[in-house]
Amino acid sequence: MAKLFLGLDSSTQSLSAVVIDLDTRKVVYEKSLNFDQALPQFKTRNGVLPHRDPLVKHSPPLLWAAALDLLFAQMKKDKVALGNILAVSGSGQQHGSVYFNDKAAPALAGLDPKKSLVENLAGVFARKTSPVWMDSSTAPECAEIRKKLGGIKFTASRTGSDTFERFTGPQIRKFYKTEPKAYEKTASIALVSSFMASLLAGQIAPIDFGDGAGMNLMDIRRRNWNHDALKATAPSLAKKLPALAEPGKVIGPVSPYFVRKFGLNPEAIATVWTGDNPASAVGLGLIKPGQVAISLGTSDTFFGTMEKCSTDESGEGHVFGSPAGGYLTLICFKNGSLAREKIREYYKISDWKKFGERVAQAPPGNGGGILLPWFEPEIVPRVNRPGVHRFDLDEKNAAANCRAIFEAQMLSMRLHSQWMQVTPEKIFVTGGAANDRALLQVLADVMNCRVLRIEVAKSAALGAALSAAYGWLAAAGKNPQWDKLVAGFSAPVPGSEIKPDKKAARIYDQLIEKYAACESDALDAV
């Protein structure tokens, strides 16, 4: 019998499945189901409910449950060998929260396969909708919690991050303040990840250290609920939170609902889910401390692993628990590829290949020219009033400006990840811009580090499938090793390695000081 493991990823816009075969080390099945298209009755747009207040972004948790039914039905139709699946795990969009009343636990324990999940879950919610990570309506609650915890530095050092609007604690506080009766009726609060795990396991599932760290409620070092943070957030919160657990820990056998309805292996185990970022890190092969991956996408994201927890005093970066042990940092730069596109369009450059050629035409460091590309409000550094700033840079010189925007983005990453004190020996890069060697050369030179391209289509679902395999092997007493487990699944693209040019690296070692000065000048000005 093939040893199959299922990883699911419940993201903002879709639910995805990846099935891996551990013996052949192959992804044997992958599928994504788009919420808006597959389940139009929930009336979401890009997975989120329209709301008159643009800061409020909620989704219906029943949408995610309905998607789980549909995806299992699809897997059955596609003849996935569900009977050979040994363990199921998953990941969820981080920070979003689901509010159960006291009917939820018995309903989960008795899921009836003759009904849909939506029917089974009728009447189990204390709040009909779930705030998700795109919600930014909790600025007052962030300020209140931060103040009670002693300011940015202490909030970050205790919970792994400063308070952020999308984080679960401020969201819970807003719910308690605006709907105190419904808050009181809340018996248990789940994250998107633990909600989905609860359906699979037929019981209220624990929250893992990875996703739990995105709540401003967990003690990042001790990995338990932080009493002061709970008190600063809402009353009686300890009673409403499930236990915290290692990602991949066995919750129990999968609910008979999935066995009878879809033919899932009755002996398959359901393991604890994690957040999409921690799962992605594993999917990208970040399983040892001191590793770094950079995703150059709509926004640019810096992932790094650390053995010991260090937190960002300025409160810009986040620290989560890593599924492979230790810690994971996530630093998100909003002005990523959209900002690069703005520059490309401004200089009427037709495609990305030509953009890369322009970058290569200008010399490393651009003779000291700097461009700060804050077309949109920026997360790191915090910029609320957007603007583009040029220093010693001729606006008419297209090549210099193309080079300058990418150099600035990479210098910003280097500067704002220094607090991690991680010196990687190589950096994995993924995302659209990772296809361009000229850009990767700039990255290698700025970071003074080897760069290798990685292509993993559904890194979070793959990470979840690997975590299911890890949990199953550990439960079987087989002492799994992460490096052996990920081998073959997330290998760098052959021939993609780029080495830093020593001369260029020295230029950037000096330019970073000027970049930092320009950044503070511009920040003072806005």
Interface residue with ligand XUL, options 93, 171, 311, 337 (CB under 6 A): 93
Centre a 10 Å sphere on the Cβ of residue 299 and count the other Cβ atoms it contains.
19
Distance of closest approach, residue 11 Cβ to ligand XUL, in angstroms: 5
Q: Which is nearer to ligand XUL, 133 or 257 (CB)?
A: 133
Give the chain's largest Cα–Cα span.
70
Q: Does 11 bind ligand XUL (CB under 6 A)?
A: yes
Judged by CB under 6 A, the stretch of 68-76, 218-226, 273-281, 284-292 that binds ligand XUL is: 273-281
Distance of closest approach, residue 331 Cβ to ligand XUL, in angstroms: 10
Distance of closest approach, residue 171 Cβ to ligand XUL, in angstroms: 12
Mapped to the 3 state alphabet, what secondary structure does 150-195 carry?
CCHHHHHHHHCCCCCCCCHHHHHHHHHHHCHHHHHCCCEEEEHHHH
Distance of closest approach, residue 474 Cβ to ligand XUL, in angstroms: 26
Structure tokens at 118: 């939506």
Structure tokens at 472: 């199953």
Interface residue with ligand XUL, options 276, 300, 316, 378 (CB under 6 A): 276
Per CB under 6 A, contacts with ligand XUL among 283-322 are 318
Angle of helix 437-447 relative to helix 398-416, nearest 10 degrees? 40
Task: Give 408's contacts (C-beta < 8 A, 6+ positions apart).
Answer: 370, 371, 372, 373, 515
Q: In 3D, which of 355, 342, 433, 11 has the Cα closest to residue 196?
A: 11
Structure tokens at 348: 């009427």
Distance of closest approach, residue 207 Cβ to ligand XUL, in angstroms: 14
Q: Which is nearer to ligand XUL, 57 or 389 (CB)?
A: 57
Interface residue with ligand XUL, options 133, 225, 472, 482 (CB under 6 A): 133
The half-sphere exposure of 213 on its side-chain side, counting CA atoms within 13 A, is 32
Interface residue with ligand XUL, options 4, 5, 7, 12 (CB under 6 A): 12
Q: Which is nearer to ligand XUL, 211 or 219 (CB)?
A: 211
Per-residue contact string for residues 214-233; x = within reach of ligand XUL by CB under 6 A: x-------------------
CA–CA separation, 85 vs 1, rounded Å?
10
Per CB under 6 A, contacts with ligand XUL among 161-200 are 166
Distance of closest approach, residue 215 Cβ to ligand XUL, in angstroms: 11
Type of residue found at 25? R
Interface residue with ligand XUL, options 95, 173, 261, 389 (CB under 6 A): 95
Task: Give the CA dihedral 50, 52, 57, 61, nearest 10 degrees.
Answer: -50
Residues 501, 380, 227: CA angle, nearest 5 degrees: 125
Q: Which is nearer to ligand XUL, 261 or 318 (CB)?
A: 318
Distance of closest approach, residue 88 Cβ to ligand XUL, in angstroms: 20
Give the number of residues in contact with ligand XUL, rule: CB under 6 A: 13
Residues near ligand XUL, by CB under 6 A: 11-12, 93-95, 133, 166, 214, 275-277, 318, 330
